Amino acid sequence: MKSLAELKAIKEKMQNQMNMRSDADHTRVVVGMATCGIAAGARPVLNTLSDEIQKRGLTDKIAVTQTGCIGLCQFEPIVEVYEPGKEKVTYIKMDAEKALEVIERHLVGGHVVEKYSMGASGLK
Partner 1 sequence: MMTEISLNVLDVAENSTRAGASLVEITLAADTKADTLTLIIKDNGCGMTPEQVAHVEDPFYTTRTTRKVGLGVPFLKQAAESTGGSFKITSEPGVGTTDTAVFGLSHIDRMPVGDISTTIQNLIVFHPDTDFVYTYRYDDREFVLDTREFREVLGGVPLDTPDVAQYIKEYLTENKQETDSGKLV
Query: Which CB sits closer to partner 1, 75 or 113?
Result: 75
Nearer to partner 1, 86 or 88 (CB): 88
Minimum distance, C-beta of residue 66 to partner 1, in the bound complex (Å): 5
- Beta carbon nearer to partner 1, 69 or 105: 69
C-alpha–C-alpha distance, residues 16 and 32, integer Å: 34
Q: Which residues bind partner 1 (CB under 8 A)?
A: 1-2, 4, 6-8, 10-11, 13-15, 18, 33-36, 38-39, 43, 46-47, 50, 54, 59, 65-66, 68-71, 73
Distance CA 31, CA 91 (A): 10
Strands (DSSP E) found in the chain: 27-32, 62-67, 79-82, 89-91
With CA atoms as reference, report the closest residue to 113 among 98, 93, 97. Answer: 98
CB of 120 to partner 1, least distance (A): 23
Question: CB–CB of 64/42 below 8 Å?
Answer: no
Q: Closest approach of Cβ 73 to partner 1, in Å?
A: 7
Q: How many CB atoms lie within 10 A of CB 14?
A: 9
Considering the complex, what minimum distance in angstroms separates the CB of residue 26 from partner 1?
13
Residues in the chain: 124
CB of 30 or CB of 113, closer to partner 1? 30
